[in-house]
Chain A
Amino acid sequence: MTGYEWIIPVVLTVITAATPLVFAGIGELVTEKSGVLNLGIEGMMLVGAVTAFVTATVTGNYFLAVIAAAASGAFMAFLFGILTLSLMANQVATGLALTLFGVGISALIGQDFVGEPVQAISKLNIAGLSDIPIIGQILFGQDPLVYLSFIMAIVVSWFLYKTKAGLILRAVGDSHDAAHSIGYSVIAIRYLAVMFGGAMSGIGGAYLSLAYTPMWAENMTAGRGWIALALIVFATWKPSLVVVGAYMFGGITILQLHAQAAGFDVPSQILSMLPYVATIVVLVIISKDESRIRKHAPACIGKIFHPAA
């Protein structure tokens, strides 16, 4: 076995780096499938992160902390919904506003908690299984949120493509006018989709402050919300590819951390640029084929719906 042990910590850290992206990406995917572009993921993740951290510090209850993070993310998304769905504000501008607001409000809530440590969310330990060499820890020794992220990806995939409700949601994103004239409540469906996206971003944020780096720091998402947005384009709006993409980015992030730790003769700043540069590169490669993007993107994305009754 000797010689391969280094794989375990690398894979484990890749998983922790990818999980928040899986949550945020899967959530935003549902939002976008309903025809809404919410650029506020970064803000919702930050609020989720700080809510989870404060709840965990005050109550010590991690389950409650994750629930609170989901609720806070959903609430932020609800605000976004009021503006874009009920008051018909521009989705791009409102998404930016949500991020700017999220940065501010999370900093305010978390200011007394900066630098305080918290116990990282505990990992599963199943007697026997988790002790299997190499795969034991990877498959059976993760924290519950990692499993939840996979479950959510599968559930969302099933929901979108195997249920009537999912069909309706996609229909609303494809043509809100047609959906409206058939008699579906476009606005109500979009509220639900947007809030689901918010809840998932909140959990993604919670993962950052409870598991990835168990602490709170201002702006600790460091652009992950935006990377999650790019992931969806990369995945051409397919849930399974969102997971693949998240793990790719997780891999790049971890690679650069390990390279820094290993003392490569490259300035740390250059290595730190990698995830951002990779995002741009991936975006360019995927977007190059304009017709492919148009084919997969929900036709109504970003468009304002006002029933012309």
Chain B
Amino acid sequence: MLLKIEKRPEASQLMVYATPILALILTIITGTVLFQLLGVDPVEGLRNFFIKPIDNTYGATELFVKATPLILCAIGLSVGFRANVWNIGAEGQLTLGAIFGGGVFVYFHDVDSVFLLPLMVVMGAIGGALWAAIPAFLKTRFNANEILTSLMLVYVALLILSLLVHGSWRDPDGFNFPESRLFSESATMPILLEGTRLHFGTIIALFAVLGTWIMLSKTLIGFQIKVIGAAPKAGGYAGFSQKKIVWFSLLFGGAMAGIAGVSEVSGPVGQLLPSISPGYGFTAIIVAFLGRLHPVGIVFAGLLMALTYLGGETAQINLGLPVAVTGVFQGMILFFLLACDVLVNFRFRFTLFGKAAS
């Protein structure tokens, strides 16, 4: 018997949808082994990880709270990934969005206006886009690899935030803690459901999903993004500009991440802190892939990844498991997904060595 990998004549649509589910199943199977190794009953572990966190209304809304920044960042990244623009610095763009949006409040903290929050969101988008414009400029002008530049800028962004909250933006009445003022009512995302943290940012995220979906499937720019990503020479042949797409996808991704940042600081976080994100910008990479770079897929993938955050916390409280389990689960699921993706373009065939019916 011989196992052969054969290219399919065309990509399997069935597998496009089946492999994320297959990857999830494999992750759960491996998860049980992992729980066993950590000395936890696997059933108990999985229940705490995947079911317990959302078996009540508050938990279910928390799922959306956590999913919101993930979906926003992933939507932005997915547009770039489709065009083969590897922006992996969403964490930095998110941070700049928080700084620009939060900065509006820091300077207008005594203004009580309905325009304050919209201004913050717009500034957040601009901040994220500006931060992403750096790799876009360096790539189109100097051919510098955007993977490395966008990632380096994450570290720089975090240091800028740290500089600000340790410095001029520190709350004057904050006992010298490195924190900004607490955001006022008019600088805070409206709560959607009383008694929960579900906020208006989730609505923004859903609109972003819808808009991106229409853009990718129905407009020329969306078509251009797909063509440039799949076959850049065919894009050149059609007259699509590669540079324009690099700029567009980075600015778009940066703006989305920036909105995610401002929606975090004016939502659940409520002020500027040295650390405002548990790595949403990086986890969003997983969300984008797991969602097949498709806006609707990203919603599901975002919810699933949000669940791993909640699951990690629940498992820590109830079972004493380390929070790091979350990261392992997230890494594993992307690993399995990439492995299973071979099935989209290839098929496995078992053949008897040498002889075959003709």
Contacts and interface: CB of A to CB of B under 8 A. Distances in A.
B125 to A, nearest CB: 23
A228 B338 CA distance: 25
B17 interface: no
Contacts of A270: 159, 163
A94 B285 CA distance: 11
A14 interface: no
B213 interface: no
A100 B152 contact: no
Interface residues of B, number: 46
Size bracket of the A interface: 35 or more
B338 A93 contact: yes
B152 A89 contact: no
Interface in A99-146: 100-105, 107-108, 111
B342 A88 contact: yes
A83 B322 CA distance: 28
Contacts of B148: 226, 229-230, 233, 279-280, 283
Interface stretch (B111-119, B196-204, B325-333): B325-333
B298 to A, nearest CB: 15
Specify the main secondary structure of chain A where it touches its partner.
Answer: helix
A96 interface: yes
Interface string B143-155: 1110111011101
Contacts, number: 136
Nearest to B7: A306
B32 interface: no
A108 B328 contact: yes
B78 to A, nearest CB: 12
A240 B282 CA distance: 33
A306 B166 CA distance: 53
B156 interface: yes
Contacts of B160: 269
B142 interface: yes
Interface in B267-309: 282-283, 285-286, 289
B86 interface: yes
A284 B138 contact: yes
A212 interface: no
Interface of B: 5, 7, 86, 88, 138, 142-145, 147-149, 151-153, 155-156, 159-160, 162-163, 166-167, 282-283, 285-286, 289, 322, 324-332, 334-335, 338-339, 341-342, 345-346
